Amino acid sequence: MIDNYNIKLLYNSEEGFHNNPGYRLYSCLMELFPEKLCDSIHDNSKTPFSQNILYDNNKGTAIWQICSYDSEITKSLDKVLKENTELYLKNDDITLKADSVEKSCINGFGDIRKLSAHIADSQNISLCFKTTTALKKNGEYMLFPDLDLIIDNLWKQWNNVFPNTPFEDDDLLDFLKRKTYISSYDLKSSCFKMKGSNVKGFYGKITVSNKLSPPLKEIFAALLIFSQYNGIGIKNALGMGKTTVMITR
């Protein structure tokens, strides 16, 4: 199950951000969560939530998305968002004010299938990387998206998030990878700044094309829509890998 929060934030646009504050927001959440919960998050091999922020310095507005896959995370988020209508990011010297909070729940394949219906018949789908995205292969960061790695990543994360409706057919996974491909791209290299390190990656857009039968198109579309709530690649809890999906016109 996914509890999806979209929080509209307001801030002084004259101050603005110099780089994406996703990592600082993660740190902010860790300060507001109970210590025991933070310890369990850091000890957990399966990241129990993702979060990212998209902002517009010209308007002084931002959308902060948080997706929880764990009931304890959801419980703490409900409390934190209710009790903290302002967040101060010390490193940016910016106060973020919560203007609204929208929450929705996604229970599994049925809900994702409804959300992906508008792209399920499409031969060409745009996958947009809105924050720095990075994939790793043989321990090295990749500066260009690899569709096989993306599908593997989403397949694995789906089974972590939806253990009651998992994808378990390895032959199906291999078939999806054989029958899908990147047909065009518009990308730039990027760097995600964190305390003490910078992670190299990319952002922009790729067009993903496929030669799948209608039933398999539905599964592929579901995985792509799932990426909007999970992210793609590494460090999704820190703000990396935010995606949006649309039909290519």
Same domain, 135 and 230: yes
Same domain, 149 and 197: yes
Same domain, 199 and 126: yes
How many separate domains does the chain show?
A: 2
Question: Six-digit token pair at 24?
Answer: 């600082």
This prediction has a pTM of 0.92
Mean pLDDT, residues 101-106: 95
The reported pLDDT for the residue numbered 249 is 65
pLDDT at 108 over 90: no
**The domain containing residue 81 runs over which residues?**
2-106
The reported pLDDT for the residue numbered 174 is 94
- pLDDT above 70 coverage of the chain, percent: 98
The reported pLDDT for the residue numbered 18 is 75
CATH number for position 196 = 3.30.70.1900
